[in-house]
Amino acid sequence: MSRSARSRDKGGPRPGKYPVRFGTAELLADADRPHAWLISVDGVAQSYVDLDDPTNLEFDYVRRLGDVVDCLPEGPLDALHVGGAGCTLARYIAATRTGSRQLVFDADGPLIELVREQLDLRSVPRLKVRIEGGREGVASRHDASADLVVVDAFERASFAGGLATVEFVTDVARVLRDGGAMLANITDGPGLAFARRFLATVGEVFSHVVLLAEPGVLRGRRFGNVVVAASRAELAVDVLTRKAASSAYPARCVSGDELRKLRGKALPVRDAEPVASPVPPEDVLGLF
């Protein structure tokens, strides 16, 4: 019997509200899947975890992250995650890339403890979690020690401060091996002002950059998630384009000249002149 099965036999996760560092977390059961759970903080969806099937990536943007992971060279990965919550992508990597070693940095200790106790985080093989900020965590890692760095850290619905600057992205590049990739999930709304600056920031450091987002977000019609992948090596643009287009909720893959046009004249963000990330409008807060 698996550890998750034993955990459920002992009563399993308990839906309810729990105080955490950045607000109040709520654990909600999925009515359609008996062992799947949604974690939200102050009404903002943070993670969806399917204890029976870690390859079930319910959130569209997490599916986009998973698509990029699937396009990396075969075999186990050494992965760093800046931001953890339910550790959905880390669970996915553990299930699809057997033998991967993963380290998560998350500043919200009570939230991680909730996930450990309620959502069986300890059962994920070769996964470690440190209660630490992302910048400090990445700075502590050796040069060329990771194949993948995932940046998906939010505080009260906004992308965590200090993770969208040239200085931080340069440190991520230092930690990555040749052929490794940085993945980031950000959010933005009409005009995509923050996304354009983030693209400029990442493009200052990496020679190959790809953006994945739903057409409505790209056209500025609504607030939503934007996934950015970056590497010193070429990314599998054709494969990512097909995967995004055939998704249950189709997305677009933007690269090359089209991406440069989207970026326009936006300037990179630097530590000396930080830029606040946008906050979702009240009518869509529960979706992020």
Q: Which residues pair with 230 in a beta bridge?
A: 182, 209
Contact status, residue 39 vs residue 85, Cβ threshold 8 Å: yes
Which tens digits make up the pLDDT trace of 170-207?
Answer: 999 999 999 999 999 999 999 999 999 999 999 999 99
> Which has the closest alpha carbon to 128: 80, 163, 168, 89?
80
Q: Which residues pair with 102 in a beta bridge?
A: 79, 127
| In the chain, where the domains are located | 57-270
Does pTM top 0.85 for this prediction?
Answer: yes
Which tens digits make up the pLDDT trace of 118-156?
Answer: 999 999 999 999 999 999 999 999 999 999 999 999 876
Task: Say what angle helices 193-205 and 166-175 make with each other, to 10 degrees.
Answer: 40
Checking if the pLDDT of 42 tops 50, the result is yes
217 Cβ neighbours under 8 A, 6+ residues apart: 188, 192, 223, 224, 225, 226
Which phi-psi region, left, alpha or beta, contains residue 284 (left: φ > 0; alpha: ψ -120 to 50)? alpha
CATH topology of domain 57-270: Rossmann fold (3.40.50)
